[in-house]
Chains A and B, each alone.
Chain A
Amino acid sequence: MTAASTGHMAADRTIEGHAITMRGITKRFPGVVALDDVSLEVRRGELHAICGENGAGKSTLMKILSGVYQPDAGTLEIHGQPARFTGTRDAERAGVAIIHQELNLVEDLSVAANVFLGRERRGWAGLIDDATMEAETARLLDMLECHVSPRAAAGGLRVGDQQLVEIAKALSLDASIVVMDEPTSALTEAESARLERTIHRLRDCGTTILYISHKMDEVFRLADRITVLRDGRHVRTVERTATTPTEITGWMVGREIAGHSFHEPRPRGAQLLEVRGLTLPWPEHPRGYRLADVSLDLHAGEIVGVAGLMGAGRTELLETIFGASPPTWTGEIRLDGRPVRFMHPREACAAGIAMVTEDRKRLGLFPDLDVAGNVSLCSLDKATRGGFVSRKREETLVAGPIRDTGVKTPGPHAAITGLSGGNQQKCIIGRWLLTEPRILLLDDPTRGIDVGAKAELYALIDRLCRQGMGVILTSSELPELLTLSDRILVLAEGRLTAAFARADATEHRILEAATASTLVRATRSPVMGGML
């Protein structure tokens, strides 16, 4: 596409014309309208930030732009040319490269092979020319301040380096438009700073950048213009200089959620759970452990929040308590003062522990079972008569938790896949409430759930806690932890780095603790790179 190269060569930051024009883009999924008549214009050479809560439609919009999804209605123009992408290859050809939130690297291939995947350079007799690709990759990585070997296996890199490999891939495409989907969500501060320098460099070359983030400080440091999406709709697009972070946040949330008054002191009961010196080995990893020397206490009527970046060991901690990890851990877990060692989630379940898993779709939901089947799954024994499941008893059984958790469903036999994310999550919580647990482990329970449903889930969790349940909650969103928790523990690379009482916890202090040990590693890594 000729227009693409013009955009790329431009020295001036923002020049005439639009790099991207979207008109009336609509995308529906079963049960949800992910995007509703969204129109958006992105100027050539600008850095355009897209802000919005989870589920606002940011990622869907980017996937349409990069050809992963096709819109149900609306048009898309790239550099003034109508475009209809049926795959990422189409988008790449038109000069659009996307760096996905979940990285798309083939872990077993080398860095260079990943950068040139699908566009391998050929040499003599059409054979793959590794030398050229490696040299080219090395040049690109050098430009990005990424000190890894082009021959290293992509899967062995740190997340920050993997992200830069993705960016190198975009650069090798000569893309005139680069889309970044929450690129710093898993990066340390040093890595984020490095990424920002890269972004500045790209922009100086005239590349149009779409930057998706809900981190206000980043957005206000980088963006030329900001677009806010909410519930799949375009709220507004403004110049950065004409707005403030508070204003943007207000548009993102839309309504002020009635001040969470969950901080009325909850009566704290007897100690339920005591974890001492928990260590979970990780033999195939250079660090050697997933968890090291983690201790925590949980009382009835208490919510303990666990903060940490991706890969810090939050999920592993909950899974080890729940008996879902390999039973190779050392240390001590005491339930009601008695040492326990669950070999299977079933045993933990019988002992009164329930766990709502992190990734609802992958680890929680049974798409082929209906709503009732999903809710009753763990306690189906209670709905049997003479060894056979009674339909009527099952309906009676699930009616309770469906009502208590406030699931909105056409009926107990509706398809679970037709419900919204929030209602699916309520079904899964309802499933565990049926097992009458005393300890509830919630692993990032509101991920991908809209604001309203979140507030309902907070109220539910608070209510359960007041009824005497002990809750351990992890979340990738700090405000959530600050809203709900009585105490907050911080994990960084498998170690506990801080424990705050609610009164002492601030987002800043938690983040500091969450990146504490990683910063030490990050400063050390260039030295290690040099030694290689």
Chain B
Amino acid sequence: MAASAPRSSGGFLLRRSEWALLAAIVVAVVLTAIIDANHSYWFQPLASLRDIARSTAMLGIFALGAAVVIIAGGIDLSAGSMIALSTTVCASTMLALAPTEMVGFKPVGGAVVTAGCLASLLAGFLVGTLHTWLITAVRLPPFIATLATLVGLRSLARAIATSTTAALLPTKNSQINVYDPMFKFVRDNVWIPVAVFGLLAFVTWLLLTRTVLGRHVHALGGNEQAARLAGIRTDNVKWFAYCYAAMTAALAGLFYVANESVAAPANQARGHELNAIAAAVVGGCSLSGGVGTVPGTVLGTIFLRVVIDAVSKVIKTEAEIYEGLIVGVVVVLAVTFSQVGHLAKGGRRLLPGALGLCAIPTLAILAGGVVAMTASPRAGLAAGLAALGLLGALRVWEGRQAAPVRTA
């Protein structure tokens, strides 16, 4: 359905779940505008929009790549490290081609910048090829193959940064500063990453829904063996998918360089691969493959960034500490809600047996703790007790539902 009939699963233009996601975004924005003590969405709409747009575009670019791999039935855990490699390759190439300008904070020229960017994209292609080779020829599970590169590529990037600076500069350095005005221009003009993201989303959508290759991506993810027996060269489709993921991450890396004026492989984009996967999953991509759309992924990305931004507006101090927590909660909630019908139909219980008994205090402590740390200890205690009560009631209700004997 996904590929050949984007409108068939309920709803006009978007699927029903995508409309729901859109509504959730609006609700999150409105709530933030109200709850935020500074009401910055109200008083500085443009600045707020700019922040969210930039962060959404930077995440969205490689979330699209993650979505393609996930729809193809794979997974790419290495995007964050790929970004670090991309920033380093770009900066190192420019440093090698124009060392004096780079050191002297002078413009390096369009040709050098182009070379740097192309080198990054080439690195993306090579990493994608490496992934595909590990998965199809060496026959590693995608999780293992990209876990290896997740660890390996960041280390490689650091080695490249250190050895390039050692060879070309008086002192070796773990990062390379980039001051070229072209990168500054990109940083100061948010519309550029947004336009690139929009264009890439359109291209990806066209590719997935309107080309033979896109159909084959869906087929591969939906049923790999059947796809092979239908005469699809599944290895080539995988090659495309993993290169697309790595190259979109490389492209995102260029915007990281622009945004932060530096290639700092030690920590740049660390952990961001999980945000991309989360955005795709929130947007409706199934990790078992075959299912997912570009509009869903775009909305998932926006939703994730809006919620993160909302938290930073509501919690004034050190909001970034809570980013991971929020992403985790959002992913769990989004996927749970998309399965609510499934849960109810199968007669499954959320809090079954001893596991359910232990899950109740776990969730209550989590909820109470978070509220205590962000608001006040008293509110935390109240929230924890409220969660305990609600979950306990749910448990009792479920127990009643699953009475042992059913009479006709």
Is there an interface contact between A70 and B347, defined as CB atoms closer than 8 Å?
yes
Number of interface residues of A (CB under 8 A): 44
- Asked if A363 meets B229 with Cβ closer than 8 Å, knowing A75-B408, A372-B4, A389-B210, the reply is yes
Residues of A within 8 A of B290 (CB): 366-368
B267 sits at the interface (CB 8 A): no
B1 to chain A: which residues have CB within 8 Å?
Answer: 368-370, 373, 413, 415
Q: Does B405 contact A369, Cβ atoms closer than 8 Å? A: no
Report B-chain residues with C-beta under 8 Å of the C-beta of A244. none
Q: What is the size category of the interface that chain B forms with chain A?
A: 35 or more
CB–CB A366/B231 < 8 A = no
CB of B231 within 8 A of CB of A384, answer: no
Interface residues of chain A: helix, strand, loop or mixed (majority): mixed
Query: Which A residue's beta carbon lies closest to that of B404?
Result: A84
Q: How far is the CA of A387 from the CA of B214 in the complex (A)?
A: 12
Q: Does A377 make an interface contact (CB < 8 A)?
A: yes
A388 to B291, CA, bound (A): 20
Once A345-B229, A394-B4 are accepted as A-B contacts, the answer to whether A84 and B218 lie under 8 Å apart by CB is no
Which of B4, B214, B221, B291 is in CB contact (< 8 Å) with A391?
B4
Within 8 A of A (CB), among B1-24: 1-5, 8
Given contacts A84-B404, A86-B347, contact A368 B228 (CB under 8 A): no
Do residues B408 and A381 form an inter-chain contact, with CB atoms below 8 A?
no
A82 at the interface (CB under 8 A from B): yes
A228 vs B291: C-alpha distance when bound (angstroms): 41
Known: A24-B408, A75-B406, A368-B1. A345 touches B215 (CB 8 A): no
Q: Is residue A426 within 8 Å, beta carbon to beta carbon, of the partner chain? A: no
B172 close to A (CB within 8 Å): no
Min distance, Cβ B300 to any Cβ of chain A, angstroms: 18
Chain A residues near B8 (CB-CB < 8 A):
370, 413, 415
| B342 interface residue per 8 A CB criterion | no
B223 at the interface (CB under 8 A from A): yes
Which listed residue, B218, B226, B233, touches A362 by the CB 8 Å rule?
B226
B225 and chain A: residue at smallest CB distance: A363
Q: Taking A362-B225, A363-B229 as contacts, is the C-beta distance between A389 and B2 under 8 angstroms? A: no
Contact with B along A356-397 (1 / 0, CB 8 A): 010000111111111011001110110010011101001000
If A364-B229, A369-B3 touch, whether A380 touches B212 (CB-CB below 8 Å) is: yes
* Cα–Cα distance between A367 and B222 once the two chains are bound (Å): 7
For B214, give the chain A residue with the smallest CB separation.
Answer: A389
Q: Which of A366, A372, A384 contacts B212 (CB 8 A)?
A: A384
Chain A residue numbers with a CB within 8 Å of B228 are 324, 344-345
Q: CA of A501 to CA of B62 in the docked complex: distance in angstroms?
A: 62
Write out the residue numbers on chain A whose beta carbons fall within 8 Å of the beta carbon of B359: none
Distance in Å from the Cβ of B395 to the closest Cβ of chain A?
17
B34 close to chain A: CB less than 8 A: no
A74 located at the interface, meaning its Cβ lies under 8 Å from any Cβ of chain B in the complex: yes
Contact (Cβ within 8 A) B222 A348: no
Q: Is the CB of B231 within 8 A of A345?
A: yes
- B211 contacts A by Cβ under 8 Å: yes
Which parts of B375-408 form the interface with A (CB within 8 Å)? 402, 404-408
Contacts of B408 in A (CB 8 A): 23-24, 73-75
Give complex CA distance A192, B95 in Å.
Answer: 78
Residues of A within 8 A of B2 (CB): 368-369
Q: How far is the CB of A426 from chain B (nearest CB, A)?
A: 16
- Given A70-B347, A373-B215, A345:B230 Cβ within 8 A: yes
Of listed A345, A357, A363, A377, residue having the most chain B CB within 10 A: A377
- Docked-complex contact B210 and A388, CB < 8 angstroms: yes
The smallest beta-carbon distance between A436 and chain B, in angstroms, is: 13
- Indicate if B206 sits at the interface (CB-CB under 8 A): yes
Q: B231 near A348 (CB under 8 angstroms)?
A: yes
Q: A84–B406 contact, CB under 8 A?
A: yes
The CA of A367 and the CA of B221, in the complex, are separated in Å by 10
Q: Does B367 contact A (CB under 8 A)?
A: no
Verify A75–B407 contact, CB threshold 8 A. yes
Residue A349 interfacial (CB < 8 Å): yes
CA distance in complex: A376, B94 (Å): 48
Q: Is the CB of A368 within 8 A of B221?
A: yes
**A355 at interface (Cβ–Cβ under 8 A)?**
yes
Determine whether the beta carbon of A377 is less than 8 Å from that of B5.
Answer: no
What's the Cα separation between A43 and B226 when bound, in Å? 45
Min CB–CB distance A437 → chain B (angstroms): 11
Give Cα distance in the complex from A124 to B228, angstroms.
Answer: 51
Contact among A324, A373, A415 with B3 in the assembled complex (CB-CB below 8 Å): A373
Q: In the bound complex, how far is the Cα of B3 from the Cα of A370, in angstroms?
A: 8
Q: Are A346 and B233 in contact (CB under 8 A)?
A: yes
Chain A residue numbers with a CB within 8 Å of B402 are 86
Judging by beta carbons under 8 Å apart, are A357 and B226 in contact? yes
In the complex, the chain B residue whose C-beta lies closest to that of A415 is B1
Interfacial chain B residues near A299, Cβ < 8 Å: none
Taken together as a complex, chains A and B put the C-alpha atoms of A274 and B407 apart, in Å, by: 63
Chain A residues within an 8 Å CB radius of B405? 82, 84
Task: Give chain B nearest CB distance to A80 CB in angstroms.
Answer: 13
CA distance A84 to B1 in the complex (A): 36
Q: Tell me if B69 is interfacial: C-beta within 8 Å of chain A.
A: no
Residue of A nearest to B288 (CB): A368
Over the window 77-101 of chain A, the binary record of Cβ atoms lying under 8 Å from chain B Cβ atoms (1 yes, 0 no) is 0000010101000000000000000
Residues from chain A with Cβ under 8 Å of B96 in the complex: none
A431 on the B face (CB < 8 A): yes
The answer to whether B229 touches A324 (Cβ under 8 A) is yes
Q: What residues of B have a CB within 8 angstroms of the CB of A372 in the complex?
A: 4-5
B90 within 8 A of A: no
B291 touches A368 (CB 8 A): yes
B223: contacting residue among A74, A75, A367, A387, CB under 8 A = A367
Q: Do residues A370 and B5 form an inter-chain contact, with CB atoms below 8 A?
A: yes
Enumerate chain B residues within 8 angstroms of A365, measured Cβ to Cβ: 223, 226
Chain B residues with Cβ below 8 Å from A373 are 1, 3-5, 215, 218
Are B230's CB and A378's CB within 8 A? yes
| Contacts A368-B1, A389-B215 given; does A377 touch B230 at CB 8 Å | yes
B1, B225, B233, B290: most-surrounded residue (chain A CB, <10 A) = B1
What residues make up the interface of A, taking CB atoms closer than 8 Å to B?
23-24, 70, 73-75, 82, 84, 86, 322, 324, 344-346, 348-349, 355, 357, 362-370, 372-373, 376-378, 380-381, 384, 387-389, 391, 394, 413, 415, 431, 435
17 A-B contacts (beta carbon < 8 Å): A73-B408, A74-B408, A84-B404, A344-B231, A363-B226, A365-B226, A366-B227, A366-B290, A370-B5, A373-B215, A373-B218, A377-B230, A377-B232, A380-B215, A388-B211, A389-B215, A435-B231
**20 additional contacts (CB under 8 A) given A364-B226, A373-B218:** A70-B347, A73-B408, A82-B405, A82-B407, A84-B404, A84-B405, A324-B229, A345-B231, A363-B226, A366-B218, A368-B291, A370-B8, A377-B215, A380-B212, A388-B210, A389-B209, A389-B211, A389-B215, A415-B1, A435-B231
CB-CB nearest 8 A-B residue pairs: A368-B290, A349-B231, A373-B4, A368-B222, A413-B5, A346-B231, A388-B210, A345-B231
